[in-house]
Structure 1
């Protein structure tokens, strides 16, 4: 039930529910990956079942694809869609310029491809994800398995010349084995503390051999929908320069989402 949710879960839920209202009949929509995106997919599934909403979704991971099919959303590939009207996804951090760190769920490559193949990217997040400067959340970097330790050494050498607080990196693990992305790659998490120049960091990282993609999303997000635990929602449109405020009335008897975990 809604009343049993933590404040963070309520904030994620209202952000996802408000963003779901941006989806219209006939759209091709990118569906993100992660805990907040799960709320979005469930909300959209409810709209498909209860309101007859008709759209096609392009998931950014196998996990999202499985959930989308489960709740009744028509799933297609990006190659089938070719171009998207909208992508809605979460973020691990966002700053005042709506630059993002993504990849905590390990799907940053597909997420970035889908987001950049969209007319608009909408980010949904609880208010705690907003930061003055990116970098508190470890920056994910997807690397090919071949020579990953050499790639890691090159990254750490490069970081000496960057405006960051820390230069440590770690291989993301899944139990006792390295975490594997949907593309069969590894992820290095960079513990930087603060990234003084995210744009420079993103460009420099992708020049290092062995790196597939990094989790800095620069100039990609158009709208951020910020949820609060009391039901308030803030919608910031960086292109229009507008900020909208809303409050969603929460149905305390609602239990459709009670099985979701963070």
Structure 2
């Protein structure tokens, strides 16, 4: 079945397969949201089924929780787990400092809470997500419904004084209605093009009344695993400063993975 994967799907798959090697019996593991994270959840389900891996997952969204349960991964709440050994998640962008933009899938708030409640965060991605400077991907900002237009205006006013190339914002939509997060909030997408100082931007945005959280993950990611279409991966560890190149044995997966392929 893996022979039928497109290069981008193969890249996501090998990054996910390499990442689950970090999961050990007895761990409490945060499970990310998005297309690459879905590969990871399926890989964990295969390990539970075929190798008897025993661990507990904490999902970052309702859809991740549903997928995990479908493939046999036991799920508890973060309150029940209290603290996590590891979180594995995708990213919309990452730079050389392993700073991230996340939230394209709408789960940035729960993703950030889970990631910061972990001893280690591993990001799985393909090479297209690597950028010199964050900002080409719109930055998601989760905001309260109450007074959202005022919050939007305050965000736009604040952007004028910050080191960004663009200042356009838009309310994320789900067809004809505003997109609603799992926590019942709206999302503003900030079209910044380039973010000169991600740390400053994150701090300033979170001081605006009505802003719940933003999609900049600063000093949270420890390792990024970059998948390639040829089945190879690059493992970058920001703490040790190491970069390793490996070949992942993709083998032939079964229909456990069939519904992930777009």
Q: TM-score range by the shorter chain?
A: over 0.9
Confirm whether residue 77 of structure 1 aligns to residue 77 of structure 2: yes
Spell out, residue by residue over 1:15-40, the C-alpha distance to the aligned partner (whole angstroms, 9 max, x if none): 00000111000000000000000000
- Structure 2 length as normaliser, TM-score? 0.98
What are the within-5 Å matches in structure 2 for residues 246-257 of structure 1?
Answer: 246-252=246-252, 254-257=254-257
| Paired residue secondary structure (1:142) | strand
**Which residue of the partner structure matches residue 183 of structure 1?**
183
Q: Give the aligned length.
A: 262
Alpha-carbon contact 2:223-2:235 (below 8 Å) kept: yes
**Which residue of the partner structure matches residue 149 of structure 1?**
149
Measured in 1, the distance between the counterparts of 2:160 and 2:74 equals 47
Identify the range of structure 1 (18-27 vs 249-258) with the bigger mean alpha-carbon deviation: 249-258
What are the within-5 Å matches in structure 2 for residues 49-64 of structure 1?
Answer: 49-64=49-64
**Which residue of the partner structure matches residue 31 of structure 1?**
31
Deviation at 1:58, TM superposition (A): 0.2
Alpha-carbon contact 1:89-1:123 (below 8 Å) kept: yes
Alpha-carbon contact 1:92-1:137 (below 8 Å) kept: yes
| Paired residue secondary structure (1:21) | helix
Deviation at 1:3, TM superposition (A): 1.4
Alpha-carbon contact 2:5-2:261 (below 8 Å) kept: no
**Which residue of the partner structure matches residue 99 of structure 1?**
99
Alpha-carbon contact 1:2-1:255 (below 8 Å) kept: no
Measured in 2, the distance between the counterparts of 1:60 and 1:21 equals 20
**Which residue of the partner structure matches residue 90 of structure 1?**
90
Structure 1 portions without partners, runs of 5+ = none
**Which residue of the partner structure matches residue 111 of structure 1?**
111
Measured in 2, the distance between the counterparts of 1:90 and 1:252 equals 23
Deviation at 1:115, TM superposition (A): 0.2
**Which residue of the partner structure matches residue 223 of structure 1?**
223
Spell out, residue by residue over 1:167-211, the C-alpha distance to the aligned partner (whole angstroms, 9 max, x if none): 000000001100000000000000000000000000000000000
Alpha-carbon contact 2:89-2:123 (below 8 Å) kept: yes
Spell out, residue by residue over 1:51-103, the C-alpha distance to the aligned partner (whole angstroms, 9 max, x if none): 00000000000000000011001100000000000000000000000000000
Identify the range of structure 1 (240-249 vs 90-99) with the bigger mean alpha-carbon deviation: 240-249
Measured in 1, the distance between the counterparts of 2:250 and 2:90 equals 21
Structure 2 portions without partners, runs of 5+ = none
**Which residue of the partner structure matches residue 167 of structure 1?**
167
Alpha-carbon contact 2:143-2:188 (below 8 Å) kept: yes
- Structure 1 length as normaliser, TM-score? 0.98
Alpha-carbon contact 1:35-1:261 (below 8 Å) kept: no
Identify the range of structure 1 (100-109 vs 249-258) with the bigger mean alpha-carbon deviation: 249-258
| Paired residue secondary structure (2:260) | coil
